[in-house]
Amino acid sequence: MRQYKGYWQNNVIHKDGRVDFCRGDVYEGDIVLDKRQGRGRYEYPDGRVYEGSWYNDYQQGQGRMEWSGGAYYDGQWKNDLRHGQGKMKYDGGSIYQGQWVNGYRDGYGKLVWPSGAFYDGQWKLDNREGQGKMRYADGGVYNGEWKNDVREGQGRFDWPDGDIYEGPFSDDVKSGEDGVYTTEDGLQYKGRYVDDKAAGIHTYTTKDGVIGRAWAVQNESGGWVWEKIDREGTTTCGPDQWLCRSGEGRCISKTWVCDGDKDCEDGSDEKQCSA
């Protein structure tokens, strides 16, 4: 049931006017042959207000929706859904500006949080997906691949203190072969990462090109530090081999590391492995 005040043509609502619906909705604006079309304002019972373009009874074209809590969307619409370019301010103060597809953040866009953190890159179905840059509230910066809203694939992370990690990520953490960690003083460590931690022996290179091997160990405060385990300039094992930490001078196949069997006398090949 509805109440209409305006013009009629051939026994249907036509031209501009006002429609009051029984559930409390109110539309005021252009109407063409009984359908909202042109410019109009629609007030919902829950406090939402849409003002903008309509076509064939749908919000379509440029328009703005405001929510009672202060959130709003200002941009393009299609079939009552955010679609195209638009800006959305959320209740918590976050602001997204970019592309939308059928009501979802999809394509290129930038989301800024009140803390100053932001994500600038590709989206898919409201999730960060594809190439993107994320600056965190503490100043850390990740630039690389994303999937299902987490870091996944190749990327680079810069810490505020100057340290850098470049290499593979999986499920939002450092994970995979040939990750390169560069300290603020220019030392580079290259090797495998498991569950966000360096695993096994890594090759290090100084700024002067000196090569050696190092092992990531946990210190008393719970942090991780690099411990050099052989003489600088010495390469003990081949590229497909792994050096036992104890200094016994034994090289084992990399495929034996974290395989459940202790192949080094000190068992170092089975330490710091993921559960």
Rounded Cα gap, residues 189 and 135, in angstroms: 24
In a domain, 9, yes or no: yes
Q: What is the largest CA-CA distance in the chain?
A: 98
In a domain, 175, yes or no: no
pLDDT of residue 9: 54
pLDDT of residue 77: 98
pLDDT of residue 232: 44
pLDDT of residue 233: 41
In a domain, 11, yes or no: yes
pLDDT of residue 217: 65
In a domain, 210, yes or no: no
Q: What is the pLDDT along the chain (275 residues), one digit of tens a residue?
A: 455 455 555 555 556 778 888 788 999 999 888 889 999 999 999 999 999 999 999 999 999 999 999 999 999 999 999 999 999 999 999 999 999 999 999 999 999 999 999 999 999 999 999 999 999 999 999 999 999 999 999 999 999 999 999 999 999 999 999 999 998 888 899 999 989 988 877 888 887 777 777 777 655 565 666 766 654 444 456 667 777 765 545 677 788 888 888 877 778 778 777 65
Pick from 194, 129, 140: which is nearest to 162 by CA? Answer: 140
Rounded Cα gap, residues 36 and 266, in angstroms: 78
Any idea how long the chain is?
A: 275
Per the structure block, which two tokens stand in for 86?
């638009």
Bridge partners of residue 95, in order along the sequence: 89, 112
Rounded Cα gap, residues 272 and 65, in angstroms: 52
Contacts of 78 (CB under 8 A, 6+ apart): 58, 60, 84, 102
Number of domains the chain contains: 1
In a domain, 41, yes or no: yes
The 3-state DSSP class for residue 16 equals: strand
pLDDT of residue 234: 46
In a domain, 18, yes or no: yes
Domain span at residue 81 reads 1-93
pLDDT of residue 79: 97
In a domain, 142, yes or no: no
Which CATH number characterizes residue 53's domain?
Answer: 2.20.110.10
pLDDT of residue 24: 87
pLDDT of residue 270: 81
